[in-house]
Structure 1
Amino acid sequence: MVKGKIRLADIAKAAGVSQGTASNVFSRPDVVRDEVREHVLAVAKNLGYAGPSVTGRLLRAGKVNAIGVAAIEPLAYFFDDPWARAFLAALAEVCDAKGTGLTLVSARNQQRLSWNIKSALVDGFVLLCVEGGERLVELTRERQLPFVSLALGVDDPSIPAIGVNNVDGAAAAAHHLTALGHRRFVILSTEFTDDHVGRIDVHDIERGVYSTSRDRAAGYWRALAQAGIARETVPVFETQNDRQSVHACLEQVFAAAEHPTAILAMSDNIAMLAMAWLADRGLTVPDDISIIGFDGVPEGGICKPGLTTMAQPFQELALRAVRAILDDAMPEEREIIAVKLIERGSTAAPKA
């Protein structure tokens, strides 16, 4: 017998016990007499046998009691991005309550994507950032496991999806500021495309790849129009939701002769990066300029001043996603969940 290729039947034969007894030593040791168990384990150790394949046992059982989370982003995204951290924390809490594991699946490397999806020991997948990730959806379907997407903008109604109402949420954010009396705005957006930073016109926004950004822009414009503010008069600056691009856009905004009195930020991350940039230049929030974010991440509640934001229901999103996979509760249609305005110290009436 060659080390590394030993089978359970070989151990049973060498130990002089039945294969059923040998199997019980590894899977149900409490039903085997101590002296028999110790003898079989000693034989197994001598022959270099580590025990039955956990992978094989799980696959035979049909369930592995774990959920996979995949995104077309680097794995660091789950730890670096405030929204991703908040959602993952909510998902982990729901999985803890159900006694279910979580597996992060890398979908960034296209050469390894097929292997990573097909070999992941999970009962189903939660897919993030599906737009631009058609191959990710295709491979997940090939696994014939349940999956649910957290994107609503993909033109494929067969993809089960759960998400938030970005249009109404953004409209509520803009309405909050117009009700305070603001009339001069700038929008700091999340990505419409993958490689552009800076001012972007209406037509490029409408042709943008990412529906979350398009929908939030549409919501802002709707509320601004209701206040008599034409969308063409509100500049939109596209960021990549990171420090460098947010700061670059703000440099352009404040280089103009007339400054906005309010910033509509499409993510809390953008809003908090903007607040830090303004503070470094001696501008005070909300006295000099008001800022409202979108997401409701925990960091927004502890920054100074606290960030006014449209809060996503992370717990509900996570709970519905887990139930869809583990409890066969897939949404029959796309589920859209409302967001909630949380007023804090970053917004106030503009100076007279």
Structure 2
Amino acid sequence: MNNRVTMADVAASAGVSTMSVSYTYNQPSRVSAATRGRVHAAAATLGYAGPNRTARSLRSGRHNSIGVVLGEKLTYAFEDPQARRFLSGIAETCLDADTALMMLPNLHRDNDIARIRDAQVDGYVVWTTEIGDPLLDVLVDTGRPTCVQGGPRHPGLNWIAIDDRAAADAVATAASSGRSHPAIVALRPDTRRESTIVRGADASDISMPVTRARLEGYRDACVRLGIDWSTVPTLFTTNNARAEGNRAARVLLQDNMIDTLLVMSDELAFGVLDAVAASGIDVPTRLAVSGWDDSPAAAAAGLTTVAQSLFDQGRSAARWVLGLSDVVDDAIWSVEERISTGRANGPQTSTDVI
């Protein structure tokens, strides 16, 4: 015997049409407050929980859910400040569209790919991944709209990113002016997560598009400033964490000639500043440090940093995936140059350099 309460049962109990019950739950503005009240009262009496969303999604072909693919452990989404901003932008769009958000890790395991492919979502936003990641072809094959933040560009998928190469050139030029011995603290070059130091690093060997583009921009600036790129050390980190930035600075600053550290994230740069403060090196007189993302803490730290809105990138990507926009909005960046008075937390002035 099937005792499941149906929409028709609620309609009969409330003395309204089945369509009125449907509108009460799915388009409440189309029925009067009095009708909604009767429907909800009857539903409460009968124990009706609402329309069967699974059946409705099968009929409409929509799930009212968006998948966010992270090339990191899920904890990264809560620990990393930039990831939180990006996800907050997606979440705001989901809130506006009454859409759920599903987190999907992509650690390049077979079950990850199957889980992402089979997820009951209407489309995907991908946090940057490697060039040639097999998941990208899988996402194309699903036929669902997909937007990749930071790249790589891939046929059949949309993408959103700033011009990382131009931004890196600009911030390196600002930080290295009048200096001749830079070093780079780079985001990991691939999913192997091995920490290495390379002099004159070849960007074409790097599979992570954001790291590749930023390294190219740093090289452009060094060449234009007359700095021999083959002498410039790059330390590739294993993760984007403050402790990793601290470790990188302690390794690189064993070379007393280094007068500039170009760092690919503010979080890493804060770790660099921790190490520098512990060693008693004066910033910015003895050592210039640049970051990336213009996080709120960057101003207090006196960083020269690249300003980009990951919140806006997340929001724009999600809007496009959900069909709320025909195009992905341009991602804007600038260089925020803050000139410290010499005290780590002293007053600063701020100037925009575009």
Distance 1:53 1:295 in 2: 43
Aligned to 1:73: 72
1:86 matched to 2:93 = no
The answer to whether the 8 A contact 1:12-1:19 is kept is no
Aligned to 1:308: 304
Instruction: Name the SS of the counterpart of 2:235 in structure 1.
Output: strand
Q: Which amino acid aligns with 1:185?
A: P
Q: Which amino acid aligns with 1:119?
A: A
Aligned to 2:268: 270
The answer to whether the 8 A contact 2:11-2:21 is kept is no
The answer to whether the 8 A contact 1:308-1:347 is kept is no
Q: Which amino acid aligns with 1:232?
A: S
Aligned to 1:342: 336
> 1:115 and 1:249, CA in 2 relative to 1: closer, same or farther beyond 3 A?
closer
1:222 matched to 2:216 = no
The answer to whether the 8 A contact 2:165-2:213 is kept is yes
Range 81-90 or range 167-176, more displaced: 81-90
- Deviation of 1:25 after TM superposition, in Å, equals 9.8
Range 208-217 or range 57-66, more displaced: 57-66
Q: Which amino acid aligns with 1:308?
A: T
Distance 1:237 1:293 in 2: 15
1:322 matched to 2:318 = yes
Q: Which amino acid aligns with 2:268?
A: I
- Deviation of 1:203 after TM superposition, in Å, equals 5.5
Q: Which amino acid aligns with 1:120?
A: Q
TM-score normalised by structure 2 residue count: 0.78
1:199 matched to 2:193 = no
Aligned to 2:350: none
> 1:25 and 1:83, CA in 2 relative to 1: closer, same or farther beyond 3 A?
closer
Q: Which amino acid aligns with 1:144?
A: G
Aligned to 1:147: 146
Distance 2:164 2:278 in 1: 31
- Deviation of 1:310 after TM superposition, in Å, equals 1.1
> 1:118 and 1:18, CA in 2 relative to 1: closer, same or farther beyond 3 A?
farther
> 1:63 and 1:93, CA in 2 relative to 1: closer, same or farther beyond 3 A?
same
Post-superposition Cα deviations, 1:8-56, rounded to whole Å, max 9, x if no partner, equal: 28957997989938955973796759788756653x33xxx54431233
Aligned to 2:293: 295
What is the root-mean-square deviation of aligned Cα atoms in Å? 3.6
The answer to whether the 8 A contact 1:8-1:22 is kept is no
Aligned to 2:130: 131
Please give the residue correspondences for 1:4-153 in structure 2 after superposition, counting only pairs within 5 Å. 6=4, 8=6, 11=9, 20=18, 27=25, 41-42=44-45, 44-45=46-47, 50-63=49-62, 66-96=65-95, 98-101=96-99, 103-108=101-106, 110=109, 111-121=111-121, 123-131=122-130, 134-153=133-152
Distance 1:16 1:40 in 2: 8
Q: Unpaired segments of 5 or more residues in structure 1?
A: none
Post-superposition Cα deviations, 1:155-195, rounded to whole Å, max 9, x if no partner, equal: x333211111111111111111233x111111111111322
The answer to whether the 8 A contact 2:7-2:22 is kept is no
Distance 1:311 1:165 in 2: 12
Aligned to 1:185: 182
Post-superposition Cα deviations, 1:280-319, rounded to whole Å, max 9, x if no partner, equal: 2222322331101122223323x3x332101113354245
The answer to whether the 8 A contact 2:14-2:39 is kept is no
The answer to whether the 8 A contact 1:24-1:31 is kept is no
Distance 2:211 2:11 in 1: 65
Distance 2:118 2:64 in 1: 16
- Deviation of 1:72 after TM superposition, in Å, equals 1.8
Post-superposition Cα deviations, 1:187-226, rounded to whole Å, max 9, x if no partner, equal: 1111113221131244664312212112111111111111
> 1:183 and 1:100, CA in 2 relative to 1: closer, same or farther beyond 3 A?
farther
Post-superposition Cα deviations, 1:312-344, rounded to whole Å, max 9, x if no partner, equal: 13354245323422235246xxx8745201011
Q: Percent identity?
A: 25
Instruction: Name the SS of the counterpart of 2:161 in structure 1.
Output: strand
Aligned to 2:259: 261
Please give the residue correspondences for 1:230-269 in structure 2 after superposition, counting only pairs within 5 Å. 230-240=228-238, 241-256=240-255, 258-269=256-267
Distance 1:33 1:347 in 2: 63
> 1:39 and 1:146, CA in 2 relative to 1: closer, same or farther beyond 3 A?
closer
Instruction: Name the SS of the counterpart of 1:215 in structure 2.
Output: helix
Distance 1:338 1:146 in 2: 23
TM-score normalised by structure 1 residue count: 0.79
The answer to whether the 8 A contact 2:82-2:310 is kept is no
The answer to whether the 8 A contact 1:189-1:265 is kept is yes
Q: Which amino acid aligns with 2:183?
A: V
- Deviation of 1:235 after TM superposition, in Å, equals 1.0
> 1:149 and 1:40, CA in 2 relative to 1: closer, same or farther beyond 3 A?
closer
